[in-house]
A and B are shown apart, each in its own frame.
Chain A
Amino acid sequence: MDTGYNYAYLDEQTKRMIRRAILKAVAIPGYQVPFAGREMPLPYGWGTGGIQLTAAVIGPDDTLKVIDQGADDTTNAVSIRRFFARTAAVATTEKTTEATVIQTRHRIPETPLREGQMLIYQVPIPEPLRWMEPRETETRKMHALQEYGVMHVKLYEDIAHYGRIATSYNYPVLVNGRYVMAPSPIPKFDNPKMDRMPALQLFGAGREKRIYAVPPYTRVESLDFDDHPFEVQTWDGACALCGATDSYLDEVVTDDAGGRMFVCSDSDYCGDRRAAGHVGDQGATAADYVRVTEAGQ
């Protein structure tokens, strides 16, 4: 463990301040709690909100997993994992089941989370009403008074222009029947996983300096219309590597001739399935697929 910094990089007063904000956020599910966000040794947009949350809650007994768009081996995920390995001396893992704290950008792991785990989201724009209402004073009032009619305007526009709700990520949700919340830019495929999740979900927006939370087993409903109910994306095919049909698939362009394949976005889930013997129709060529090599481990 490198010295020169306090445990987990942030000083203890800052961590207390953030923990207090977290407690308030947990007490009022979906409510955005302002906090005095610190400068972190990475740029805004790279997870400064999530990393402060992780720093405030992590301890030596924790096991940390960091994913970026579902993958454990992207630069951002690897950097943040190393950061905490060095400053907080925590064990790290790529296994969803082994982690106690999971910091994520834009995905929820496919493997269901359990009690005692924490899922920490990196959030770029915490305010779901911002699209309709630019004034912060007004959006706060709208939250306070539960004036959420405008949230449906965007969904209305989608149906009017595309015949269906085309919003596919950062799809607004109603938390505990009270606050409308931006779930961060996760695909709406992941929205149902938020509902009554046994794990604690924390959201941190570093640039906007907001923290919000969904406590375990809290109702999270995706907004919709009676005649256009919420639905998630589906794919015609299965994961080319592991054959999964129940996971969120990324499209990967494989050559300049328009060749493409669909693979699980959750690299841990895909790897587990292949280790258990599941093979997709291009599973044999898996070694060619850079993202899934074992080299990262």
Chain B
Amino acid sequence: MSAAPMLSVKDLTHWYGARLGCRDVSFDLWPGEVLGIVGESGSGKSTLLSCLSCANQPSGGQVLYRDRTGAMVDVHALSEPRQRLLMRSDWGVVHQNPRDGLRMGVSAGANIGERLMAVGARHYGDIRTGAQDWLGRVEIADDRTDDLPRTFSGGMQQRLQIARTLVTHPRLVFMDEPTGGLDVSVQARLLDLLRGLVADLGLSVIIVTHDLAVARLLAHRLMVMKDGTVIESGLTDQVLDDPHHPYTQLLVSSVLQV
């Protein structure tokens, strides 16, 4: 077990004007740990994710990240170039809608290659080999390399987005409902793939989902959110099998048996 957390979140709060996004969220995330954030729509989980991933500047609180040199940096105090560099190199985001994370007008290979080129790769052969290697890892056939993502099914697009995100070997990945909008059998395949990749690469992941089965399969621990605050957190199976907060009990009992 490594001794230091990779991400340390302190009292993170975000207001949309007078409306609360999330309030006083604090947690640590260790290398290789997968944290699930569950809750119903409007519970503040997506707000929290956007504040963590620098898509939003929070109204209060801190997000400290331990970079590759071991130094703790306050990500919201970083200059925008440093933030964007972090997003390109150390961090990755998997959006719910693959269209938000892909360039629909360029080929699958270029979608993956772009992330490599964005961090300086300038050898076409290497970029293409890297792209095809990742297509293979997300189970997309080589002969689709030069096809446009819009010719792909929803599940394939999502797998392509995952490949595009992981190709630069990020250390921390944010996922927003990565299986949302996919039918059940496609979901199962994607989850299984994600589970394998996360374990193989030792990724730290923060995954937002309203699907408790997804949370159980992927997350080591959970935070349950309601009305912008974290109402219960702990080991995934503990939260799901022995929920204490009334809302968590309601949430767990509302789910069909999984």
Contacts and interface: CB of A to CB of B under 8 A. Distances in A.
Interface stretch (A25-33, A92-100, A221-229): A221-229
B116 to A, nearest CB: 8
Contacts of B80: 141, 145
B81 A156 contact: no
A227 B125 contact: yes
A157 B110 contact: yes
Nearest to A165: B124
Interface stretch (A79-87, A146-154, A176-184, A240-248): A146-154
Contact of B109 (A147, A156, A225, A227): A156
Given A147-B84, A153-B113, A159 B124 contact: yes
Among A152, A226, A227, A228, chain B packs the most CB atoms within 10 A around the CB of: A152
Interface in A142-195: 145, 147, 149-150, 152-154, 156-157, 159-161
B235 interface: no
Contacts of B117: 149-150, 152-153, 156
Interface residues of B, number: 24
A226 B113 contact: no
Interface residues of A, number: 18
Contacts of A160: 107, 109-110, 128, 145-146
B118 interface: yes
B107 A152 contact: no
A287 interface: no
Contact of A153 (B106, B125, B146): B106
A226 B115 CA distance: 17
Given A225-B122, A225-B124, A157 B81 contact: no
A252 interface: no
A232 interface: no
A132 interface: yes
A161 B113 CA distance: 14
Nearest to B146: A160
B123 A227 contact: yes
Interface in B95-109: 103, 106-107, 109
B127 A226 contact: no
Contact of B146 (A152, A161, A227, A228): A161
Contact of B124 (A145, A161, A228): A228
B124 A157 contact: no
Nearest to B111: A153
Contacts of B145: 160
B119 interface: yes
B103 A132 contact: yes
B24 interface: no
Given A145-B80, A145-B81, A147-B84, A156 B127 contact: yes
Contacts of A228: 124
Contacts of A149: 88, 114-115, 117-120
B169 to A, nearest CB: 16
Contacts of A156: 109-110, 113-114, 117, 124, 127-128
Interface string A195-227: 000000000000000000000000000000111
Contacts of A159: 124
Contacts of B122: 152, 225-226
Interface string B125-159: 10110000000000000000110000000000000
15 contacts: A132-B103, A132-B106, A145-B80, A145-B84, A153-B117, A154-B106, A156-B109, A156-B117, A157-B106, A157-B107, A160-B128, A226-B124, A227-B123, A227-B125, A228-B124
Closest 7 CB pairs of A and B: A149-B118, A225-B124, A149-B117, A152-B117, A226-B123, A145-B81, A153-B110
Interface of A: 132, 141, 145, 147, 149-150, 152-154, 156-157, 159-161, 225-228
Interface of B: 80-81, 84, 88, 103, 106-107, 109-110, 113-115, 117-120, 122-125, 127-128, 145-146
